[in-house]
Amino acid sequence: MPLQVHHHDLGAIELTILGSVLLAAALVCALFAAGAAVYGGRTGDRRWVDSSRRAVYSVAALLTTAVVILEIAFVRNDFHFALVADHSSTTTPTFYKLTAMWSSQEGSLLLWAWVLSLASSGVLYITSRRHREIVPWATAVLAGLGSFFIGLMIFKAQPFGHLDPAPAEGVGLEPLLRNPYMAVHPPMLYSGYVLWSIPFAFCIGALIARKLDASWIRTTRNFALLAWTFLGIGLLLGSRWSYEELGWGGYWGWDPVENAALMPWLVGTAFLHSVMVQEKRGMLKVWNVSLISATFCLCLLGTFLVRSGVLQSIHAFGASTVGGPLLVLIAVTAIGATVLIVTRLDQLQPERRINSLLSRESIFLVNNLLLVGMAMVIFWGTFFPLISEFFTGEKHSLAAPWFDRYVTPIGVLLVLFTGIGPLFAWGRLSSGAAKRLLLWPSIATAVTIAVLLTVSDAGHHVWALLIFAFAAFALVALWGEFWRAGATRHALTGEAYPRALANAVGRNRRRYGGYIVHAGIALTLIGIAASSSFQTNRDLRLQVGQTAKVGDYTIAYRKLTADPQNERIAFAARLDVTRDGKHFATLNPARNYYPTQDPTAGPIGRYFMGDSTSEVGLKTGAGGDLWTAFQPDLSSLNPAIVRGNRELRGLPPNAQGLAIIALAQHYAQDPPPANFKVIVNPLVGWIWIGALIAVAGAIMAGWPALESRRRLEAAYRARLGRELGTATPPN
Amino acid sequence: MDPSRKRKIRLVVALSAAVLLAAGLVYTSFNASSEAKEPSQLAGSNPNQTYELTGDVVPGSIRHSGDQLDFRISDRDGSHPIPVTYTGTVPDPFRDGREVIVTGKYQDGTFVGERDSLITKCPSKFTTTTSGQSS
């Protein structure tokens, strides 16, 4: 080996060693932070607490450097990094090189630890002069978690493993992950998981310090909202990816890994609501600390399910080494939180009781039970293979219909509550006021049912009908809330109505942002109900020139085109779609074939035998989607491939490339019949439109308040405190 | 009725409802589930019972005939291959050697898959390595 190359090798290997050293230093800092925080918390010595906070900042700095080193290696195709060689290649587009880091377990752990260190630093910076009793313990929890994940990377799954000599070419990113949604999905999901650790850590801190007023909730409120939003965006992107990339046309399959992300989101949603009851009414304290602990345990469980391979899943990532330690962490978290809650029960007594069923707190309680109930159903179904194995010795699994049977009715009730909740006031609502508030939404419900029964066959889909009706209820109720807010201010101040509305909403962004989230969720559920109940789904086998009718659409298969490139060969079908005799759309569903590294496939065969992915042909509209996927039959190529493998072996890559291009184009001129999957999916786009509206609402609700509004809030809190006779300390 | 008594009644009603629902959940889940089997465990099984068959696609066994897909599934160690017939959606990653799950019935030595029940496990993103030396 020439000397220069050897030198280069050494430089790259030093970089991988530097990465490992950074991780080791981060572990030392995180362990020190945890120890110093505990010591500072016990002795009350602020210097140790300050020191632990600075140690957490150092962890963030060290991990940021490690991430940068790894990303630079990905961009530079430095295959001395085992991670780069296994998950990237010179032909991987640059954007996907950057995102390839988290397609690996090691890279995902690094991402997790890095986001955790950043979020911890953020919350500790904000609270550096506040909550002196709680912060040391919260720091200890966060630093302990950080130590755990950094320790996993050092002892179980090293992101900085090196290869010497480096291979000339990497394996490349798994083709199914080369999709913009999938590139952004893992960081969103992980950020969601990780951010839930902030309210959890402060809850544990409050429990240990026995400071169980609502201050820990107020401090971490926006972190919880952010966690909820990120987790929601993660779910959203994952479902969209499934819809566009996996070639089956569905967006949700009750797969264990999907359920694993949905469960903490549901329980977290319950938490976001029930903390309001504690803030405003001083109730549900035990419930809140239990909910946040459960949410965080479910986040860890989600990570565990993805990594451990204990459940059969289409995502089963293979048995992994980090499952055992994660299970220990989940057990420690669950048991620790339970012990703390039980020993602090006397301090978690409610300040008052629920007096009336016609009150916001009782509606919130019911909504909480529904959300937690839904999460428990999903939990049971997800873990049923393990449960049944425990009782019967045989693994039984539950399919989508079982989940639908339970989740649908709960979902229907939840839509109703997205509308009822905002209408009811805290404390007690007179039955006259309740009647007045419920009048218009109820009329909307009745009209929706009547119209749908006359113009559609919704009568055969009772659950879907109920969702539409209750969504109408919710949307009209929410509309009324905005209308009243504007009208009241207009009457009080004399401002023009639009201005009055904007001011009224702007002054209570948390409330109205929440209502926008509700409206978005109602739209999403309309999309889910419509697309799952009224979908037309056909499998076709067509020759070039043939047409088929699916629903109102006539689909003509015009031609097949081949697009051979370095990275992949794409075969695309051209479909001309007409409706009522008029041109509706031209769709180009395609299938991409990525070369395999398997030498037995042969020099020509390897371009046709590797992974393939679907590029669906999609025409999106407000009324619904026309979704098409394409599966060419390449078996007629087999004789030519076998001959090519034999005759072209040993030729330079250029000549082989020409042969492959010729082969692909020859196939495209006279292709055999191909399989198509066509789905007419009514209103499906509203799932994601509604979700985007919900995200916008969440951002609005969590947007940091202006200084003037803070003063207003402080004054309000002081007044509330006087009225309740329990002055809340300023924080 | 005094409030605390009212609350107690509410609690009892809510708890009984929860217990009833939980019982329904347990009952239906044992009824609706399908048993997961590997090919070697299918011998002598009930032809009217639905199973979830898990195993690897035997290389070279995939045949398309019209809409129908015929292939063989073996245990993960490659033993006990059995023929499978299937119609419906074929997931992207389906190919020789892949681990798949298909739901259906085992009749006269052939496993007849339900329409659209074929699931391919993601080609494990975390186990591909160019060399044995990584990490």
Instruction: Please name which of A629, A598, A399, A414 lies closest in space to residue B89, comparing C-alpha atoms.
Output: A629
Among the partner residues B36, B87, B122, nearest to A176 by beta-carbon distance:
B122
Are the beta carbons of B35 and A394 separated by less than 8 Å? yes
A551/A199: higher pLDDT = A199
> Is the alpha carbon torsion for A461, A467, A470, A472 positive or negative?
negative
Where does the pLDDT of residue B66 fall: very low under 50, low under 70, confident under 90, or very high at 90 and above? low
How large a percentage of chain B has pLDDT more than 70? 84
Among A332-336, A501-505, A570-574, B98-102, name the one with the lowest average pLDDT: B98-102
Q: What is the pLDDT of residues B70-124, one digit of tens each?
A: 899 988 788 888 999 998 777 766 777 788 888 888 888 889 988 878 877 654 4
Question: Which parts of A494-612 fold into alpha helices (H)?
Answer: 497-507, 509-533
Tell me, yes or no, whether A62 and A115 share the same domain: yes
Asked if the model's pLDDT at residue A232 lies above 90, the reply is yes
Higher per-residue pLDDT: A513 or B66:
A513
Same domain, A369 and A234: yes
Which residues of chain A have a CB within 8 Å of the CB of B21?
373
Asked whether the beta carbons of B51 and B89 are under 8 A apart, the reply is no
* Average pLDDT along chain B: 78
Q: Do B121 and A398 touch (CB under 8 A)?
A: no
Rounded mean pLDDT, A216-241: 92
Contact A131, A219 (CB under 8 A): yes
Report pLDDT digits (tens) over A46-94. 999 999 999 999 999 999 999 999 999 999 999 999 989 988 888 888 8
- Which chain A residues have a beta carbon less than 8 Å from that of B14? 369
- Nearest CB among B32, B91, B124 relative to A247 is that of B91
pLDDT at A287: 92
**Chain A residues close to B126, C-beta within 8 Å:** 104-105, 317-318, 320
Question: What is the nearest CA distance from A531 to chain B, expressed in angstroms?
Answer: 18
Looking at the domain assignment, is residue A1 inside a domain?
A: no
Residue A411 lies in a domain: no
Residues in a beta bridge with A681: A625
For residue A543, being part of any structural domain is answered with yes
Task: Report CB contact under 8 Å: A314, B119.
Answer: yes
- Do A146 and A195 lie in a common domain? no
- pLDDT of B45 reads 77
Q: What ipTM was predicted for this assembly?
A: 0.74
Question: pLDDT category, B126, cuts 50, 70, 90?
Answer: very low
Are the Cβ atoms of A613 and B133 closer than 8 angstroms?
no
CA distance B70 to chain A (A): 14
Using DSSP, state whether A554 is helix, strand or coil.
strand
Distance CA A110, CA A154 (A): 10
Q: Are residues A338 and A377 in the same domain?
A: yes
Distance CA A531, CA A522 (A): 14
Q: Which residues contact A275 (CB under 8 A, 6 or more apart)?
A: A214, A217, A221, A224, A288
B67, closest residue in chain A (CA to CA) = A541
pLDDT value, residue A728: 46
Domain-embedded: residue A413: no
Structure tokens at A441: 């939404």
Concatenated DSSP letters for A445-462? HHHHHHHHHHHSSGGG-H
C-alpha Rg value of chain A to the nearest Å: 29
CA angle A396/A263/A351 to nearest 5° reads 130
**Which of A106, A139, A173 is the last residue in one of the domains?**
A173
Using the 3D structure, point to which of A173, A188, A214 is the last residue of a domain: A173
Across the interface, of A317, A401, A597, the residue whose CB is closest to B125 is A317
Has residue B129 got a pLDDT over 60? no
Q: How far is B2 from chain A (nearest CA, A)?
A: 12
Residue that wins the pLDDT comparison between A730 and B112: B112
A520/A539 Cα distance (integer angstroms): 33
Interface test with A, best of B5, B125, B129, B131 (most A CBs within 10 A): B125
- A409 within some domain: no
- Among chain A residues, the shortest Cα distance to B54 is held by A312
- Comparing CB atoms, the residue among A161, A385, A406 nearest residue B135 is A161
Closest CB to A398 among B32, B67, B131: B32
Task: Answer whether residue A419 is part of any domain.
Answer: no
Query: What pLDDT score does A105 carry?
Result: 83
Which range among A75-79, A402-406, A501-505, B35-39 shows the weakest confidence by mean pLDDT?
Answer: B35-39
Does the pLDDT value for residue A197 go beyond 50?
A: yes
pLDDT digits (tens, 9 = 90+) for A514-524: 999 999 999 99
The Cα–Cα gap between A218 and A604 comes to 63
Among A167, A406, A539, beta carbon nearest to B88 = A539
Q: How far is CA A599 from CA A163, A645, A649, A714, in A?
A: 21, 11, 12, 70
Report the greatest alpha carbon distance in chain B.
76
Let me know: does A207 contact A135? Beta carbons within 8 Å. no
Contacts of A597 in chain B (CB under 8 A): 130
Would the pLDDT of B35 be above 90? no
Helix (H) or strand (E) holding A200: helix A197-209
State the burial class of residue A133 (Cβ atoms within 10 Å of its Cβ: 0-12, 13-18, 19+): middle
Alpha-carbon dihedral sign for residues A535, A538, A543, A549 = negative
Which residues on chain B are in Cβ contact (under 8 Å) with A672?
none
pLDDT of res. A724: 62
Residue B133 has pLDDT above 50, yes or no: no
Instruction: Please give, rounded to a whole number of angstroms, the shortest distance from the CA of A245 to a CA of chain B.
Output: 9
Q: Same domain for A392 and A289?
A: yes
Q: For residue A381, give the nearest of B29, B34, B101 by CB distance.
A: B29
Is A520 found in the same domain as A632? no
* Domain-located, residue A231: yes
For the beta carbon of residue B114, count every other beta carbon within 10 angstroms.
16
Cβ <8 Å between A167 and B131: yes
pLDDT of residue A2: 41
d(CA A215, CA A220): 9
A675: helix, coil or strand? strand
More confident residue, A423 or B129: A423
Encoded tokens for A469? 């009706």
Same structural domain for residues A206 and A165? no
Task: Give the integer Cα–Cα distance in Å for A680 and A664.
Answer: 31
**Are A405 and B28 an interchain contact pair (Cβ–Cβ within 8 Å)?**
yes
Total number of domains constituting chain A: 4
Angle at Cα A186 formed by Cα A181 and Cα A191, nearest 5°?
125
Q: Whose CA is closest to A143, among A153, A131, A155, A151?
A: A151
Of the listed ranges A12-26, A409-423, A563-577, B19-33, the least confidently predicted one is B19-33
Residue-level pLDDT at A196: 96
Are residues A556 and A666 part of one domain? yes
pLDDT in tens, A643-689: 888 888 777 878 888 888 888 888 888 888 888 989 999 999 999 99
Ranked by mean pLDDT, the top range of A4-18, A34-48, A158-172 is A34-48
What pLDDT score does A308 carry? 59
Question: What is the token pair recorded at A703?
Answer: 């947007």
pTM over 0.95: no
Question: Which of A121 and A164 is assigned the larger pLDDT?
Answer: A121
Closest-CA residue of B relative to A253 is B119
DSSP-derived secondary structure letter, A81 = B
Query: Which residue in this structure is represented by tokens 């529904």?
Result: A370
Check whether residue A334 and residue A457 sit in a common domain: no
State whether B134 and A406 contact (CB < 8 Å).
no
Burial class (CB in 10 A: 0-12, 13-18, 19+), A520: buried
Residue A80 lies in a domain: yes
Quickly tell me which residue has 């119609």 as its tokens.
Answer: B87
Q: Is the peptide bond before A165 cis (omega within 30 degrees of 0)?
A: yes
Cα–Cα dist A134/A94, whole Å: 44
Write the CATH number for A114.
1.20.120
> Does the distance separating the beta carbons of A317 and B124 come in below 8 Å?
yes
CB spacing of B30 vs A388 below 8 angstroms: yes
Burial tier of A295 (Cβ tally within 10 Å: 0-12, 13-18, 19+): buried
At A4-22, the pLDDT tens digits run 444 455 577 788 999 999 9
* DSSP conformational letter for A606: G
Please check whether residues A503 and A611 belong to one and the same domain. Answer: no
* Range among A166-175, A575-584, A609-618 rated most confident: A575-584
Query: How many inter-chain contacts (A to B, CB under 8 Å) are there?
Result: 144
Asked if residue B103 lies in contact with residue B50, where contact means CB atoms within 8 angstroms, the answer is: yes
**One-letter identity of residue A352:** R
Give the residue numbers spanning the domain of A433: 426-530+687-726
Q: Report pLDDT for A731.
A: 44
Residues A51 and A145 in one domain: yes
CA–CA gap between residue B34 and residue B51 (Å, rounded) = 5
pLDDT digits (tens, 9 = 90+) for A361-417: 888 989 999 999 999 999 999 888 888 888 887 778 788 888 998 999 999 999 999
Measured between beta carbons, which residues in chain B are less than 8 angstroms from residue A106?
Answer: 135
Residues of A in contact with B49 (CB under 8 A): none
The amino acid sitting at A461 is H
Compute CA distances A622 → A519, A681, A697, B40, whole Å.
17, 11, 21, 50
CA of B81 to nearest chain A CA: how many angstroms apart?
20
Give the model's pLDDT for residue A1.
38
Of A122-131, A187-196, A421-430, B124-133, the one with minimum mean pLDDT is: B124-133
Provide the pLDDT for residue A124. 95
Average confidence (pLDDT) over A182-191: 88
Quote the mean pLDDT of chain A. 87
Tell me: pLDDT of A575 over 60: yes
Among A173, A205, A224, the domain boundary falls at A173
Q: Please report the pLDDT score of residue A7 as a whole number.
A: 45
CA distance A541 to B115: 16
Confidence category of residue A601, pLDDT binned at 50, 70, 90: confident
Of A270, A249, A529, A258, the C-alpha closest to A412 is A529
- In tens, the pLDDT along A431-482 reads 888 888 889 999 999 999 999 998 888 888 999 999 999 999 999 999 999 9
pLDDT at A716: 65
Contact B35 A373 (CB under 8 A): no
More confident residue, A200 or A317: A200
Chain A residues touching residue B36 (CB < 8 angstroms): 312, 385, 394-397
Please name the member of B67, B92, B129 whose beta carbon is closest to the beta carbon of A247.
B92
Give contacts of A170 with chain B, Cβ < 8 Å: 130
One-letter amino acid for residue A481 of the chain: E
Shared domain check, A115 and A31: yes
Contact residues, chain A, for B121 at CB < 8 Å? 313-316
Residues from chain B that touch A163, judged by Cβ atoms under 8 A, are 130-131, 133-134
Check pLDDT > 60 for residue A730.
Answer: no
- Segment A128-150 shows an average pLDDT of 94
Q: Which residue has the higher pLDDT, A574 or A322?
A: A574
- Option in A87, A314, A635 nearest B120 (CB): A314
A424 compared with A374, residue with greater pLDDT: A374
